[in-house]
Structure 1
Amino acid sequence: MFGLWVPVTVAAAGLQSLRTAQQKHLTGVIGQSGAHFARYFYGAPLAALLVGGMAFGGVELPRADAGFFLFGLAGGLMQIVATGCLIHAYTLRNFTAATTFSKTETIQAAVLSTLFMGEGLSGGGWVAVAVGFVGLVALAVGRQADGWRKLGTAWREPATVYGLASGLFFALCSMAIRSAALRLPAADPFIAAAVTLCAITAMQTVVMGLFLLVFDRAALAGALNRAWRPASTVGILSVVGSLGWFFAMTLEPVAHVRALAQVEIVFTILLTVFVFRERPSRLEYAGAGLIVGSVVILLLAR
């Protein structure tokens, strides 16, 4: 009834939650830059292996043009910048503001895709986005006792700027990825997603590897040697989850995929309770409930 993109997006959100949890641990071992690089370095070979296996099995791969690589490179760079903005926002000691404003990605993606791709939301879709954002705010402030106060004064803080920038670049990244995949001529959606993923992760590995080689060799060495086992786990989870995102965005407009992707926070709550043995507050449970409600509204309003 709702299309293949729905279970694919939900699965990708679940894998992203697992990757985030593993990356949180890895960051404590080799730092933020090393953990970030591991996502691409250990994921790119798997994406290449998938595409190579398709070609070896007789699948005719689509021929990519210059526009495909330009959109792919733009998407890959925007994802790196978005993650950097988010990490920097967290270092500014206002987790509430950073989290909340970065999650405006859903709203920004809906607006931008309407303006530039002609793929907007219906009236019910906008209601779903609004309800989901209220749920995200409740989750963000529920994680800290003084969350409401911090959020109320956040407009004066740099964390707000970096949080909004993170959301913007994540939204642009999603649009660029969809644009790249759609440029592959007459390609099956899954094949288009796999080829796009292979190209983008390869470019991200090269770009970030060169950056660390020049500016942070310790992080590079940590990802390649000292912590290669947890780093490879992050890379595997990342590339499989990204394949899900890419596949979903070849099947459905970005605004719908990113709105449904808010269900990720429900998986985060489950990990918090059953893996990290932490007890969320009532406000966090309420926020998760609102997000689930927003997903139901989105699916019914399409």
Structure 2
Amino acid sequence: MIWVAATLIAATAQTARNAAQAGLTTRIGTIGATAVRFVFGLPFALLTLLIAAIWLPVPRPDATVLGYTAIGAAAQIAATAFMLITMRGQSFGVATALMKTEPVTLAIIGAIILAEPLGPARMGAILLATIGVVMASGANWSRASLSPVLTGVTSGALFGLSSIGFRGAILALPEGGFFIRALTVLVLTLALQAAVMLLWMVWRDRAALRGIAEDWRVSVAAGALGAFASLFWFIGFALTPAANVRTLALVEVVMAQILSGRLLRQKANPLQLAGMALIVVGVGWLLAVA
């Protein structure tokens, strides 16, 4: 069950990366803060690949691998844009709940594109955990308007498509173990995303580019954490269907609620407690049938 450990490590590292990026948004803007994870993550991923290449042969990507990688990279950038639009139009709880519908769309897309088995038990576990997230979010749905709901679901679907692209690229590599294949696709992904973000900032947002350079210490930390988290996400994608990885990652919602209760003295209401219980049951069910 290496994918279970990899997913939990990735979720923890991603939380740390988000914390490192949080302050950057107010100082260098949304575009700059988003670009940091790609631009500063690439050198760390590339260095890791060069070191790994001393002992492991690096697989050579073909057109299929590059195609899947491009789909994943582009979908992830677009998903981030829709996520930011949703967060501007709705409360954080509503936006988070909408985007966490990703495992459902991911399972369906994976069955269509990669012919991964869905099955009633696996789909039931994913649905149960996702419903739990919606309940645990504490979102006030009476104030949710249609437009942000659509952008939120679109964001979740695009994040799902990006995960399918990454898994497709990893599976399409002709040789190598799960680690070197995951690392190879990660470097390709970050290279594409860094190039796109740098070109955009040079063309339309040079202030963000200057901000990244001036705040390079925090940017480097966020990039390193981002590359570390992404590597373990990709290891998970190499070993099991992406929907399994993203469903298990929903346990971070439970951990966040526990931390907020202990550190911030915020009490969960009965609906949120029921939602957290559903997440735990859904994830446990998924692990039993995966």
Rate the CA distance shift 1:268–1:213 in 2: closer, same or farther, 3 A.
farther
Rate the CA distance shift 1:159–1:190 in 2: closer, same or farther, 3 A.
same
Letter in 1 for 2:156: G
**1:200 equivalenced with 2:189 (yes/no):** yes
Aligned counterpart for 2:142 among listed residues 136, 139, 149: 149
Aligned residue in 2 for 1:61:
58
Q: 1:16-69 CA deviation, whole Å, 9 max, x = no partner? A: 1222222223212222111100101111000000111122x2421111112211
Aligned residue in 2 for 1:281:
268
Following superposition, the deviation at residue 259 of structure 1 comes to: 1.5
CA separation in 1, counterparts of 2:68 and 2:114?
14
**1:79 equivalenced with 2:76 (yes/no):** yes
Q: 1:124-158 CA deviation, whole Å, 9 max, x = no partner? A: 22221122122111122x25xxx1422xxx3x421
Aligned-partner SS, 1:279: coil
Letter in 2 for 1:244: F
CA separation in 2, counterparts of 1:66 and 1:115?
21
Q: Is the 8 A contact 2:257 2:268 kept in 1?
A: no
Letter in 1 for 2:268: S
Following superposition, the deviation at residue 87 of structure 1 comes to: 0.6
Aligned residue in 2 for 1:105:
102
Aligned counterpart for 2:40 among listed residues 24, 39, 42: 42
Following superposition, the deviation at residue 289 of structure 1 comes to: 2.8
**1:5 equivalenced with 2:14 (yes/no):** no
Q: 1:167-208 CA deviation, whole Å, 9 max, x = no partner? A: 111111011101111121121110000010011101110101
CA separation in 1, counterparts of 2:265 and 2:211?
29
Aligned residue in 1 for 2:128:
131
Aligned-partner SS, 2:250: helix
Aligned counterpart for 2:207 among listed residues 215, 218, 231: 218
CA separation in 1, counterparts of 2:169 and 2:189?
10
Letter in 2 for 1:134: I
**Structure 2 unaligned runs (5+)?**
none
Q: 1:3-28 CA deviation, whole Å, 9 max, x = no partner? A: 21111111111111222222223212
Q: 1:190-236 CA deviation, whole Å, 9 max, x = no partner? A: 000001001110111010111011111111211121x2222222111
Aligned residue in 1 for 2:279:
291
Letter in 2 for 1:248: G
Rate the CA distance shift 1:59–1:222 in 2: closer, same or farther, 3 A.
same
Q: Is the 8 A contact 2:132 2:279 kept in 1?
A: yes
Rate the CA distance shift 1:86–1:122 in 2: closer, same or farther, 3 A.
same
Q: Is the 8 A contact 1:128 1:295 kept in 2?
A: yes
Rate the CA distance shift 1:168–1:217 in 2: closer, same or farther, 3 A.
same
Q: 1:76-101 CA deviation, whole Å, 9 max, x = no partner? A: 11101101100111111343432222
Aligned counterpart for 1:232 among listed residues 207, 220, 224: 220
Rate the CA distance shift 1:269–1:233 in 2: closer, same or farther, 3 A.
farther
How many positions carry a matched residue from both structures?
289
The two structures, once aligned, show a CA RMSD in angstroms of: 1.7
Which range moves more in the overlay, 74-83 or 63-72?
A: 63-72
Rate the CA distance shift 1:270–1:19 in 2: closer, same or farther, 3 A.
farther
Which range moves more in the overlay, 19-28 or 196-205?
A: 19-28
Aligned residue in 2 for 1:259:
247
**1:170 equivalenced with 2:164 (yes/no):** no
Q: Provide the TM-score with structure 2 as the length reference.
A: 0.93
Aligned-partner SS, 2:173: coil
Following superposition, the deviation at residue 278 of structure 1 comes to: 5.0
Letter in 2 for 1:230: V
Alignment of 1:177-192 (within 5 A): 177-192=166-181
Q: Is the 8 A contact 1:17 1:267 kept in 2?
A: no
Aligned-partner SS, 2:36: helix
